[in-house]
Structure 1
Protein backbone atom coordinates (compact mmCIF):
# COMPACT_ATOMS: atom_id res chain seq x y z
CA UNK A 1 0.00 0.00 0.00
CA UNK A 2 2.82 2.33 0.89
CA UNK A 3 4.42 1.65 -2.54
CA UNK A 4 1.18 2.52 -4.36
CA UNK A 5 0.87 5.83 -2.51
CA UNK A 6 4.44 6.73 -3.45
CA UNK A 7 3.75 5.66 -7.03
CA UNK A 8 0.60 7.79 -7.24
CA UNK A 9 2.40 10.68 -5.55
CA UNK A 10 5.31 10.34 -8.01
CA UNK A 11 2.91 10.30 -11.01
CA UNK A 12 0.99 13.28 -9.63
CA UNK A 13 4.20 15.27 -9.07
CA UNK A 14 5.44 14.29 -12.53
CA UNK A 15 2.18 15.59 -14.06
CA UNK A 16 2.50 18.88 -12.15
CA UNK A 17 6.13 19.28 -13.26
CA UNK A 18 5.14 18.47 -16.86
CA UNK A 19 2.30 21.02 -16.68
CA UNK A 20 4.65 23.67 -15.23
CA UNK A 21 7.27 22.95 -17.91
CA UNK A 22 4.77 23.26 -20.77
CA UNK A 23 3.16 26.35 -19.26
CA UNK A 24 6.53 28.06 -18.75
CA UNK A 25 7.60 27.12 -22.28
CA UNK A 26 4.39 28.61 -23.75
CA UNK A 27 4.83 31.73 -21.63
CA UNK A 28 8.44 32.12 -22.81
CA UNK A 29 7.33 31.75 -26.45
CA UNK A 30 4.60 34.38 -25.96
CA UNK A 31 7.01 36.81 -24.29
CA UNK A 32 9.61 36.31 -27.04
CA UNK A 33 6.93 36.86 -29.67
CA UNK A 34 5.79 40.07 -27.93
CA UNK A 35 9.40 41.27 -27.70
CA UNK A 36 9.88 40.60 -31.42
CA UNK A 37 6.68 42.52 -32.22
CA UNK A 38 7.78 45.44 -30.05
CA UNK A 39 11.23 45.51 -31.69
CA UNK A 40 9.65 45.70 -35.14
CA UNK A 41 7.26 48.45 -33.97
CA UNK A 42 10.19 50.42 -32.51
CA UNK A 43 12.07 50.05 -35.80
CA UNK A 44 9.01 51.31 -37.72
CA UNK A 45 8.64 54.25 -35.30
CA UNK A 46 12.33 55.14 -35.70
CA UNK A 47 11.93 55.12 -39.49
CA UNK A 48 8.78 57.22 -39.23
CA UNK A 49 10.49 59.68 -36.89
CA UNK A 50 13.47 59.96 -39.20
CA UNK A 51 11.20 60.61 -42.19
CA UNK A 52 9.32 63.26 -40.19
CA UNK A 53 12.56 64.96 -39.22
CA UNK A 54 13.68 65.01 -42.86
CA UNK A 55 10.35 66.52 -43.89
CA UNK A 56 10.68 69.20 -41.21
CA UNK A 57 14.20 70.03 -42.39
CA UNK A 58 12.92 70.20 -45.97
CA UNK A 59 10.07 72.52 -44.95
CA UNK A 60 12.43 74.75 -42.99
CA UNK A 61 14.89 75.07 -45.88
CA UNK A 62 13.29 78.27 -47.17
CA UNK A 63 13.08 80.15 -43.90
CA UNK A 64 14.71 83.30 -42.60
CA UNK A 65 15.28 81.64 -39.23
CA UNK A 66 17.49 78.96 -40.82
CA UNK A 67 19.33 81.20 -43.28
CA UNK A 68 22.44 82.59 -41.62
CA UNK A 69 23.42 84.61 -44.69
CA UNK A 70 20.05 86.36 -44.74
CA UNK A 71 20.08 86.91 -40.96
CA UNK A 72 23.49 88.58 -41.29
CA UNK A 73 21.69 91.53 -42.96
CA UNK A 74 20.01 92.28 -39.62
CA UNK A 75 22.96 91.88 -37.24
CA UNK A 76 23.42 95.64 -36.90
CA UNK A 77 19.76 96.16 -35.87
CA UNK A 78 20.02 94.18 -32.63
CA UNK A 79 16.68 92.42 -33.18
CA UNK A 80 16.27 89.26 -31.15
CA UNK A 81 13.79 87.75 -33.60
CA UNK A 82 13.70 89.48 -36.99
CA UNK A 83 11.18 86.96 -38.34
CA UNK A 84 8.63 87.75 -35.65
CA UNK A 85 9.23 91.48 -36.01
CA UNK A 86 8.61 91.41 -39.77
CA UNK A 87 5.54 89.18 -39.37
CA UNK A 88 4.11 91.61 -36.81
CA UNK A 89 4.73 94.56 -39.13
CA UNK A 90 2.99 92.74 -41.99
CA UNK A 91 0.05 91.80 -39.78
CA UNK A 92 -0.27 95.45 -38.76
CA UNK A 93 -1.35 96.14 -42.36
CA UNK A 94 -4.49 94.09 -41.57
CA UNK A 95 -5.54 96.69 -38.99
CA UNK A 96 -6.48 99.28 -41.58
CA UNK A 97 -10.18 99.58 -42.32
CA UNK A 98 -11.29 97.50 -45.30
CA UNK A 99 -9.22 94.92 -47.12
CA UNK A 100 -5.49 94.74 -46.55
CA UNK A 101 -3.80 97.30 -48.84
CA UNK A 102 -1.36 94.65 -50.12
CA UNK A 103 -4.22 92.47 -51.41
CA UNK A 104 -5.19 93.72 -54.89
CA UNK A 105 -8.73 92.31 -54.73
CA UNK A 106 -11.95 93.58 -53.22
CA UNK A 107 -13.33 91.23 -50.58
CA UNK A 108 -16.43 89.40 -51.77
CA UNK A 109 -17.64 87.96 -48.47
CA UNK A 110 -15.86 90.46 -46.26
CA UNK A 111 -12.49 92.17 -46.16
CA UNK A 112 -9.42 90.32 -47.41
CA UNK A 113 -6.87 89.95 -44.61
CA UNK A 114 -3.48 88.28 -44.49
CA UNK A 115 -3.59 85.08 -42.45
CA UNK A 116 -0.44 83.03 -42.77
CA UNK A 117 3.06 84.32 -43.43
CA UNK A 118 6.26 82.57 -44.47
CA UNK A 119 9.38 84.73 -44.53
CA UNK A 120 11.70 83.09 -47.04
CA UNK A 121 14.80 85.25 -46.61
CA UNK A 122 15.87 88.87 -46.12
CA UNK A 123 13.87 90.06 -49.16
CA UNK A 124 10.82 87.87 -49.86
CA UNK A 125 7.66 86.78 -48.11
CA UNK A 126 4.91 84.37 -49.17
CA UNK A 127 1.56 85.10 -47.54
CA UNK A 128 -1.95 83.70 -47.59
CA UNK A 129 -5.03 85.92 -47.53
CA UNK A 130 -8.74 85.26 -47.19
CA UNK A 131 -12.12 86.88 -46.66
CA UNK A 132 -13.50 83.77 -44.97
CA UNK A 133 -14.78 82.20 -48.18
CA UNK A 134 -12.30 83.15 -50.91
CA UNK A 135 -8.55 82.92 -50.52
CA UNK A 136 -5.30 83.45 -52.35
CA UNK A 137 -1.56 83.88 -52.08
CA UNK A 138 0.81 86.84 -52.28
CA UNK A 139 4.51 87.15 -53.03
CA UNK A 140 5.78 90.23 -51.24
CA UNK A 141 9.16 91.93 -51.40
CA UNK A 142 10.14 93.73 -48.20
CA UNK A 143 12.89 95.93 -46.91
CA UNK A 144 13.72 96.29 -43.23
CA UNK A 145 15.31 99.71 -42.77
CA UNK A 146 17.83 100.86 -40.20
CA UNK A 147 15.11 102.81 -38.36
CA UNK A 148 13.19 99.46 -38.07
CA UNK A 149 10.58 100.58 -40.58
CA UNK A 150 9.48 97.97 -43.08
CA UNK A 151 8.45 98.65 -46.67
CA UNK A 152 6.31 96.02 -48.37
CA UNK A 153 5.95 95.76 -52.15
CA UNK A 154 3.55 93.33 -53.79
CA UNK A 155 5.42 91.28 -56.41
CA UNK A 156 2.71 88.83 -57.50
CA UNK A 157 -0.68 87.57 -56.39
CA UNK A 158 -3.14 84.77 -56.98
CA UNK A 159 -6.82 84.43 -56.14
CA UNK A 160 -8.08 80.85 -56.18
CA UNK A 161 -11.30 80.06 -58.01
CA UNK A 162 -13.93 78.89 -55.56
CA UNK A 163 -15.17 75.41 -56.38
CA UNK A 164 -18.48 73.98 -55.19
Structure 2
Protein backbone atom coordinates (compact mmCIF):
# COMPACT_ATOMS: atom_id res chain seq x y z
CA UNK A 1 0.00 0.00 0.00
CA UNK A 2 2.89 2.28 0.77
CA UNK A 3 4.35 1.54 -2.67
CA UNK A 4 1.07 2.27 -4.44
CA UNK A 5 0.67 5.56 -2.51
CA UNK A 6 4.18 6.56 -3.56
CA UNK A 7 3.38 5.56 -7.14
CA UNK A 8 0.21 7.68 -7.11
CA UNK A 9 2.06 10.67 -5.65
CA UNK A 10 4.82 10.23 -8.23
CA UNK A 11 2.27 10.12 -11.07
CA UNK A 12 0.46 13.14 -9.62
CA UNK A 13 3.76 15.03 -9.46
CA UNK A 14 4.54 14.14 -13.08
CA UNK A 15 1.07 15.28 -14.20
CA UNK A 16 1.44 18.55 -12.25
CA UNK A 17 4.79 19.16 -13.92
CA UNK A 18 3.34 18.47 -17.37
CA UNK A 19 0.37 20.79 -16.79
CA UNK A 20 2.64 23.50 -15.35
CA UNK A 21 5.02 23.20 -18.31
CA UNK A 22 2.13 23.40 -20.81
CA UNK A 23 0.57 26.35 -18.99
CA UNK A 24 3.76 28.42 -18.91
CA UNK A 25 4.79 27.56 -22.46
CA UNK A 26 1.38 28.62 -23.77
CA UNK A 27 1.41 31.72 -21.59
CA UNK A 28 4.72 32.79 -23.14
CA UNK A 29 3.32 32.18 -26.63
CA UNK A 30 0.14 34.11 -25.76
CA UNK A 31 2.14 37.05 -24.34
CA UNK A 32 4.38 37.14 -27.42
CA UNK A 33 1.35 37.22 -29.73
CA UNK A 34 -0.26 39.94 -27.62
CA UNK A 35 2.98 41.95 -27.69
CA UNK A 36 3.22 41.57 -31.49
CA UNK A 37 -0.40 42.69 -31.96
CA UNK A 38 0.07 45.69 -29.65
CA UNK A 39 3.31 46.66 -31.39
CA UNK A 40 1.66 46.44 -34.81
CA UNK A 41 -1.30 48.51 -33.63
CA UNK A 42 1.01 51.16 -32.16
CA UNK A 43 3.07 51.32 -35.37
CA UNK A 44 -0.15 51.75 -37.35
CA UNK A 45 -1.24 54.50 -34.96
CA UNK A 46 2.08 56.30 -35.30
CA UNK A 47 1.84 56.01 -39.06
CA UNK A 48 -1.70 57.39 -39.02
CA UNK A 49 -0.74 60.30 -36.77
CA UNK A 50 2.29 61.08 -38.94
CA UNK A 51 0.12 61.09 -42.05
CA UNK A 52 -2.46 63.37 -40.42
CA UNK A 53 0.28 65.74 -39.24
CA UNK A 54 1.77 65.89 -42.73
CA UNK A 55 -1.68 66.61 -44.20
CA UNK A 56 -2.43 69.30 -41.62
CA UNK A 57 0.92 70.98 -42.26
CA UNK A 58 0.43 70.97 -46.02
CA UNK A 59 -0.54 74.64 -45.82
CA UNK A 60 2.43 75.97 -43.91
CA UNK A 61 5.48 77.96 -44.84
CA UNK A 62 7.73 75.27 -43.35
CA UNK A 63 6.58 72.69 -45.94
CA UNK A 64 5.91 74.84 -49.01
CA UNK A 65 9.03 75.10 -51.17
CA UNK A 66 7.43 77.54 -53.61
CA UNK A 67 6.63 79.93 -50.76
CA UNK A 68 10.14 79.49 -49.35
CA UNK A 69 11.67 80.27 -52.75
CA UNK A 70 9.74 83.56 -52.78
CA UNK A 71 12.08 84.85 -50.08
CA UNK A 72 15.19 83.82 -52.03
CA UNK A 73 15.90 86.97 -54.06
CA UNK A 74 19.58 86.22 -54.60
CA UNK A 75 19.06 85.53 -58.34
CA UNK A 76 17.81 89.09 -58.87
CA UNK A 77 20.52 90.59 -56.68
CA UNK A 78 18.17 90.95 -53.72
CA UNK A 79 18.53 89.85 -50.17
CA UNK A 80 17.88 86.28 -49.00
CA UNK A 81 15.41 86.05 -46.11
CA UNK A 82 15.53 82.77 -44.21
CA UNK A 83 12.01 81.55 -43.59
CA UNK A 84 13.11 79.76 -40.38
CA UNK A 85 14.00 83.14 -38.90
CA UNK A 86 11.11 84.98 -40.54
CA UNK A 87 8.32 82.88 -39.01
CA UNK A 88 9.05 83.77 -35.35
CA UNK A 89 9.69 87.43 -36.27
CA UNK A 90 6.35 87.77 -38.08
CA UNK A 91 4.50 85.95 -35.30
CA UNK A 92 6.12 88.05 -32.59
CA UNK A 93 5.44 91.31 -34.43
CA UNK A 94 1.77 90.40 -34.84
CA UNK A 95 1.42 89.35 -31.20
CA UNK A 96 3.22 92.50 -29.98
CA UNK A 97 0.31 94.52 -31.35
CA UNK A 98 -1.88 92.96 -28.62
CA UNK A 99 -0.47 95.59 -26.24
CA UNK A 100 -2.49 98.30 -28.00
CA UNK A 101 -5.06 99.71 -25.51
CA UNK A 102 -7.85 99.28 -28.09
CA UNK A 103 -6.79 95.74 -28.92
CA UNK A 104 -4.93 94.31 -31.85
CA UNK A 105 -5.87 96.34 -34.94
CA UNK A 106 -5.45 93.31 -37.19
CA UNK A 107 -8.34 91.38 -35.68
CA UNK A 108 -10.68 93.52 -37.75
CA UNK A 109 -12.84 94.14 -34.67
CA UNK A 110 -13.31 97.25 -32.58
CA UNK A 111 -13.22 97.08 -28.80
CA UNK A 112 -16.54 95.82 -27.43
CA UNK A 113 -17.14 96.77 -23.81
CA UNK A 114 -14.19 96.72 -21.42
CA UNK A 115 -12.42 93.82 -23.14
CA UNK A 116 -10.17 94.29 -26.14
CA UNK A 117 -9.67 91.77 -28.94
CA UNK A 118 -6.25 90.15 -28.98
CA UNK A 119 -4.71 87.52 -31.20
CA UNK A 120 -4.11 84.17 -29.48
CA UNK A 121 -2.70 81.86 -32.15
CA UNK A 122 -1.01 82.50 -35.46
CA UNK A 123 -0.32 80.13 -38.38
CA UNK A 124 1.74 81.36 -41.32
CA UNK A 125 0.33 79.59 -44.35
CA UNK A 126 2.75 80.71 -47.05
CA UNK A 127 4.71 83.73 -48.26
CA UNK A 128 1.61 85.93 -48.26
CA UNK A 129 -1.11 84.59 -45.92
CA UNK A 130 -1.57 84.26 -42.19
CA UNK A 131 -4.54 82.82 -40.34
CA UNK A 132 -5.02 83.85 -36.72
CA UNK A 133 -7.39 83.14 -33.86
CA UNK A 134 -8.51 86.05 -31.68
CA UNK A 135 -10.80 86.71 -28.73
CA UNK A 136 -11.78 89.21 -26.10
CA UNK A 137 -12.48 86.60 -23.45
CA UNK A 138 -16.16 86.27 -24.37
CA UNK A 139 -16.24 86.33 -28.17
CA UNK A 140 -13.99 84.35 -30.49
CA UNK A 141 -13.10 84.74 -34.12
CA UNK A 142 -10.61 84.15 -36.87
CA UNK A 143 -8.92 86.48 -39.29
CA UNK A 144 -7.16 85.98 -42.60
CA UNK A 145 -4.28 88.42 -43.02
CA UNK A 146 -1.94 89.35 -45.82
CA UNK A 147 1.60 90.15 -44.82
CA UNK A 148 4.37 91.78 -46.76
CA UNK A 149 8.12 91.77 -46.17
CA UNK A 150 10.05 94.48 -47.99
CA UNK A 151 13.76 94.55 -48.88
CA UNK A 152 14.60 96.19 -45.56
CA UNK A 153 12.77 93.36 -43.78
CA UNK A 154 9.96 95.65 -42.61
CA UNK A 155 6.76 93.67 -42.08
CA UNK A 156 3.33 95.08 -42.78
CA UNK A 157 -0.05 93.45 -42.34
CA UNK A 158 -3.40 93.86 -44.02
CA UNK A 159 -6.74 92.40 -42.90
CA UNK A 160 -8.27 90.42 -45.73
CA UNK A 161 -11.26 88.83 -44.02
CA UNK A 162 -12.42 88.37 -40.45
CA UNK A 163 -15.05 86.24 -38.82
CA UNK A 164 -16.54 86.63 -35.34
CA UNK A 165 -18.39 83.58 -33.99
CA UNK A 166 -21.71 83.94 -32.18
CA UNK A 167 -21.96 83.27 -28.47
Kindly report structure 1 stretches of 4+ aligned residues shifted beyond 3 Å. Answer: 4-11
Q: CA deviation at 1:8?
A: 4.1
Query: What are the Cα deviations for residues 51-96 of structure 1, in whole angstroms up to 9, with x where unaligned?
Result: 1011100111000011122112224135642211111111122122
Unaligned runs of 5+ in 2: 73-79
Q: TM-score, normalised by structure 1?
A: 0.87
- Correspondence for 1:102: 106
Cα RMSD between the aligned structures?
1.8
**Separation in 2, partners of 1:36, 1:80:** 45
Unaligned runs of 5+ in 1: none
Q: TM-score, normalised by structure 2?
A: 0.86
- Correspondence for 2:11: 14
Which piece of structure 1 moves more, 6-15 or 114-123? 6-15
Larger-Rg structure: 1
Equivalences, count: 159
Secondary structure (helix, strand or coil) at the match of 1:77 reads coil
**Separation in 2, partners of 1:78, 1:38:** 46
Evaluate the alpha carbon distance shift between residue 126 and residue 48 of structure 1 in structure 2; reply closer, same or farther with a 3 A threshold.
same
